[in-house]
Structure 1
């Protein structure tokens, strides 16, 4: 059954993209419980499986019914386009206890028997303590599972935002949304999302947050209930190659490109299949950030790259000349 989001004139002016480390933490926890989500992440699971097994995620899983409602207070829409995890978890810790209690009870009701469990009774009796406990578990999951790979994850998510921002400028919102996911349909100001359950909401001038996610694949999340800002979370582009080893990316640069630019600069230019930051490229290529920064500066000065700021990050991407050099069409 579809969900429908109805846009008014003001909503088109309030659509934005965002990246959320808190969201990725929730979704990696969910992915560990759902084998059908793990296909693209087999390499990560082999590397992190023992570490993940050492975490007690039972309480978070209790609030992730499938299908069913997950508490919005525990993973609200992003508070900004590039908020840090520390900023986001601080907002979670500041949740109103009574609102969190009602939201949690709604989630527990979607798992048979959960409302009558000792853990649920304890939470509903003392929602303030529940907020702090679940925030602690989420924070431990972040530091253990997500933070070590966050530069790589953030680079992929920001590349998705850069790509879809360009497409938004080219084809408009109605053209972009069906491109993002086959589950999204657009007709005369109404977004239809193929999702479990039926939902209808008028955006009412709040606009829409579009949020790529690595670990949400193959699902989408269509909206948050009021008072939360409407949000669409969808699988980010490029997750198929996310965990590929660097494997001497410089070898991909052909001999002519290496002779023209030098091996280091050729490797950096070749690695920019998607826009990326200095730190992401350094991690991807196993090079010192200072070396990558020097290569990026020279490549930009030569007209092979452009740079633009996104939040606190600077994203580099190839110019048409840089693309032609890498493809051999120059």
Structure 2
């Protein structure tokens, strides 16, 4: 059944991309309770196994029904294009307790018996305390589950934003929205999402926030009731290479052709990255990575794109062919 977002003239001018560490934290918590998502993040799950056992996430899970509403105040639309977690969690702590209680009641109603359970009743009886307890739990989840990997995650998310921003300039909003995911379609000012339930919303001049997401992968999630700005989270590009070790993806034929250092850098750029991001992932000095990037770019294997203050490197078509370890590399041996 369709989920439709209807755009007016002003909405077309108020669409933006954003990256949210709070959103990723919320979805990481949800992922731990969703076995169907586990196959996409095996390395992350192994890393956080001990930390996850030390967290009590049951209160957050109570407000994350399998189907239906999750409280908007726990993961509001990002404040800006690259908000810090500290800024976002401060907004959660400042939530209006009356609105938060209504938000929680709606979420609890989506799971049979949740509102009448002892913990559900406690949440509704003391919304001021509930907001602070939930924010504390979310902050603990951030430090244990997401923060250690945030440089890697942020790089992937920002590279996705840079890519789709470039596509936006090339093909316009109506062209780029269906490229975000196969379940999205655009026709005459209406964005349609393949959805389980039927829902129609006029954006009414608020525009739309578009969030690439790692941990909500492979789902498309849209929501936020007034007064929140409408938001749509979509699966980030490059998830397949996110948790892989770069060394294991470096073909020996590429090493013999370029040398090990440059081959590792080129192979690692299956996902666009920055100089510092590559240095962190590969365990190399930033100066060495910078020299390799300059040589690869000079050879026509890489191109660079700026996103804010960060410069991302990605492979050209020739670089993609060589990085894959087949075709061109084999022919050049």
Q: TM-score normalized by structure 1?
A: 0.90
Post-superposition offset of 1:154: 1.2
CA distance in 1, matches of 2:294, 2:255: 22
Question: Which residue of the partner structure matches residue 81 of structure 1?
Answer: 81
Contact kept, 8 Å, 1:253 with 1:267, in 2: the verdict is no
Post-superposition offset of 1:62: 0.3
Q: Deviations over 1:287-328 (max 9, x none)?
A: 233432444456557776544442453322345776687684
Contact kept, 8 Å, 1:24 with 1:213, in 2: the verdict is yes
CA distance in 2, matches of 1:128, 1:26: 20
Question: Which residue of the partner structure matches residue 163 of structure 1?
Answer: 163
Question: Which residue of the partner structure matches residue 122 of structure 1?
Answer: 122
Contact kept, 8 Å, 2:241 with 2:270, in 1: the verdict is no
Contact kept, 8 Å, 1:82 with 1:311, in 2: the verdict is no
CA distance in 1, matches of 2:294, 2:214: 29
CA distance in 1, matches of 2:253, 2:272: 18
Contact kept, 8 Å, 2:255 with 2:263, in 1: the verdict is no
Post-superposition offset of 1:269: 3.4
Q: For the structure 1 residues 250 and 286, does the alpha-carbon distance in structure 2 shift closer, same or farther, using more than 3 Å as the test?
A: farther
Question: Which residue of the partner structure matches residue 172 of structure 1?
Answer: 172
Residue 219 (1) aligns with residue 216 (2):
no
Contact kept, 8 Å, 1:308 with 1:314, in 2: the verdict is yes
Residue 286 (1) aligns with residue 283 (2):
yes
Question: Which residue of the partner structure matches residue 190 of structure 2?
Answer: 190
Post-superposition offset of 1:19: 1.0
Q: For the structure 1 residues 252 and 100, does the alpha-carbon distance in structure 2 shift closer, same or farther, using more than 3 Å as the test?
A: farther
Question: Which residue of the partner structure matches residue 68 of structure 2?
Answer: 68
**Structure 1 unpaired stretches of 5+:** none
Residue 59 (1) aligns with residue 59 (2):
yes
Q: For the structure 1 residues 288 and 53, does the alpha-carbon distance in structure 2 shift closer, same or farther, using more than 3 Å as the test?
A: same
Structure 1 residues 248-259: aligned runs within 5 Å? 251=251, 254-255=254-255, 257-258=257-258
Question: Which residue of the partner structure matches residue 181 of structure 1?
Answer: 181
Greater shift in the superposed pair: 182-191 or 269-278:
269-278
Question: Which residue of the partner structure matches residue 135 of structure 1?
Answer: 135
CA distance in 2, matches of 1:191, 1:240: 27
Q: For the structure 1 residues 298 and 182, does the alpha-carbon distance in structure 2 shift closer, same or farther, using more than 3 Å as the test?
A: closer
Post-superposition offset of 1:253: 6.5
Contact kept, 8 Å, 2:68 with 2:107, in 1: the verdict is yes
Question: Which residue of the partner structure matches residue 317 of structure 1?
Answer: 314
Contact kept, 8 Å, 1:248 with 1:285, in 2: the verdict is no
Question: Which residue of the partner structure matches residue 102 of structure 1?
Answer: 102
Question: Which residue of the partner structure matches residue 28 of structure 2?
Answer: 28
Question: Which residue of the partner structure matches residue 261 of structure 2?
Answer: 264
Post-superposition offset of 1:217: 1.8
Q: Indicate the RMSD between aligned Cα atoms, in angstroms.
A: 2.4
CA distance in 2, matches of 1:325, 1:47: 31
CA distance in 1, matches of 2:220, 2:317: 33
**Alignment size in residue pairs:** 327
Q: For the structure 1 residues 273 and 218, does the alpha-carbon distance in structure 2 shift closer, same or farther, using more than 3 Å as the test?
A: closer
Greater shift in the superposed pair: 136-145 or 220-229:
220-229
CA distance in 1, matches of 2:138, 2:104: 15
Contact kept, 8 Å, 2:238 with 2:270, in 1: the verdict is no
User: Segments of 4+ in structure 1 off by > 6 A?
Assistant: none
Contact kept, 8 Å, 2:156 with 2:238, in 1: the verdict is yes
Structure 1 residues 35-54: aligned runs within 5 Å? 35-54=35-54
Q: TM-score normalized by structure 2?
A: 0.89
CA distance in 2, matches of 1:137, 1:313: 31
Q: For the structure 1 residues 221 and 102, does the alpha-carbon distance in structure 2 shift closer, same or farther, using more than 3 Å as the test?
A: same
Greater shift in the superposed pair: 287-296 or 56-65:
287-296
1:287 is paired with a residue whose SS is coil
**Structure 2 unpaired stretches of 5+:** none
Question: Which residue of the partner structure matches residue 240 of structure 2?
Answer: 240
